[in-house]
Amino acid sequence: MPASARDYSLIGRDAQLAEANGFAAAEWYSCSIPRKELKELMRRSDGPALRDTALWLSCLTLSAGGGVYFWGTWWAVPFFVVYGVLYGSSSDSRWHETGHGTAFKTRWMNDILYYVASFMILREPTVWRWSHTRHHTDTIIVGRDPEIAVPRPPDVIGLLLNLFALKSAFHTLRGLFLHAAGRLTKEEETFIPETERWKVYLVARIYLVIFVIVSAICFYIGSILPAMLIGLPTLYGGFMAIFFGLTQHTGLAEDVLDHRLNTRTVYMNPVFRFLYWNMNYHIEHHMFPMVPYHALPRLHQLIKDDCPPAYTSTIAAYREIIPTVLRQIKDPAFFVVRELPDRTKPAPYNHGSVLKMADQKTAGRAV
């Protein structure tokens, strides 16, 4: 297998190269939308998120109630599957949307759901707020983006472990202990401002206290039922988060300043779109991140002619993703090239000094 030519660390060689070659905090391609329409799309309201959150909390409560009622029988299994997906997977999109501050018009509503959903998906809210900010500034720019889910060559075992959030949970727990001790990693220091760091330390301590209390209750009553409701659903219900999340960027180009080339928009059914809060419109989200989730389908209609065709289904996306990931194990230079509409201007690729300096070859080939 060829050695990986890329350094995905935020403090390594490719971080310096990204800055030197103008990929850091660069100007990105943006589809043209009349200002009036964009303002209308960006306009906030509480209604859709209040409705969706009420439905979400109701489903969580009912499925938890069923799981507890039938605990000790096989009938509890379907209830915990539903509860787990709502808790450990759909919390991902709630975390995401409220992190952008777009789900609700009312700021405190965003903040409350952001902190609750962060705990459910087992992410530290301050760390991830800042890492996601960087992800939007430097989407899939090697050495700059801390949220590249599938570096090349792909860590397939890690991906499989993350179907049950095992690798990510281990990483988070390690971070919790570090942060609870009042420290950050060197990489975190590159994107978390000093004025925000006290929040990281405080929330890490709160998380650990909650886990200690839940564990103590489990030991006291001699049952894992409390942990099945708080904590473990992140693991046993996390598979849909990665199922949705991998459609976003996996296998597409690195180091391009055009979201149409490194991001997928995938048509999904209404249930998936409820669980995922319309993040299947991911090109639209990255290009105009201040457009609320409920307005993304309208935004899609406005820009779709200036984008590569959307994937017709999640299955269609995985028909591309799985072979690409498997091929990248042996050929890390391989990636999927998205075809842009003819009339669009070309976006800058990394086929230049970055690659020469890194002494590697990269050639995009369409699958």
Partner 1 sequence: MTGSWINACGTEDIEAEDVIRFDHEGRTYALYRTEDDRYFATAGLCTHESVHLSSGLVMGTIIECPKHNGRFDFTSGKAKGAPVCVDIVTYPVKVESDRVYVLVDA
Chain contacts with partner 1 (rule: CB under 8 A)? 25, 35, 38-39, 42-44, 100-102, 129-130, 133, 136-137, 193, 195-196, 288-290
Q: Which residues pair with 311 in a beta bridge?
A: 266
Q: Provide the H-helix boundaries in the chain.
A: 13-20, 35-42, 47-69, 76-88, 90-99, 107-120, 125-137, 156-161, 166-180, 186-191, 197-221, 225-229, 233-236, 239-245, 259-262, 270-276, 282-287, 296-303, 314-330, 353-358
Cβ proximity to partner 1, 137 vs 344, nearer residue: 137
Query: To the nearest whole angstrom, how small is the minimum distance from the Cβ of residue 248 to partner 1?
Result: 18
Tell the smallest beta-carbon distance from residue 195 to partner 1 (Å).
5
Least Cβ distance, residue 205 to partner 1 (angstroms) = 20
The reply to whether omega before 226 is within 30° of 0 (cis) is no
What are the Cα distances from residue 104, in Å, to 276, 292, 299?
16, 8, 18
Residue 53 CA to residue 71 CA, distance in Å, equals 26
CB contact set of 41 (below 8 Å; sequence gap of 6+): 33, 288, 291, 295, 298, 299, 302
Measured from the CB atom, the residue of 101 and 348 that comes closer to partner 1 is 101
Q: What is the closest distance, in whole angstroms, from the C-beta atom of residue 27 to partner 1 in the complex?
A: 9
Quick one: 133 or 215, whose CB is closer to partner 1?
A: 133
- Render 307-344 in DSSP notation, one character per residue: SPPPBSSHHHHHHHHHHHHHHHHH-TT--BPPPPPTTS
Cβ closer to partner 1: 39 or 365?
Answer: 39
Closer Cβ to partner 1, 73 or 195, answer by number: 195
- 111 C-beta neighbours (distance < 10 Å), count: 15
Burial class (CB in 10 A: 0-12, 13-18, 19+), 311: buried
Closer residue to partner 1, CB minimum distance, 130 or 349: 130
Q: Provide, rounded to whole angstroms, the least separation between the CB of residue 25 and partner 1.
A: 6
Toward partner 1, which CB reaches closer, 43 or 356?
Answer: 43
Q: Min. distance of Cβ 137 from partner 1 in angstroms?
A: 5
- Distance of closest approach, residue 130 Cβ to partner 1, in angstroms: 7
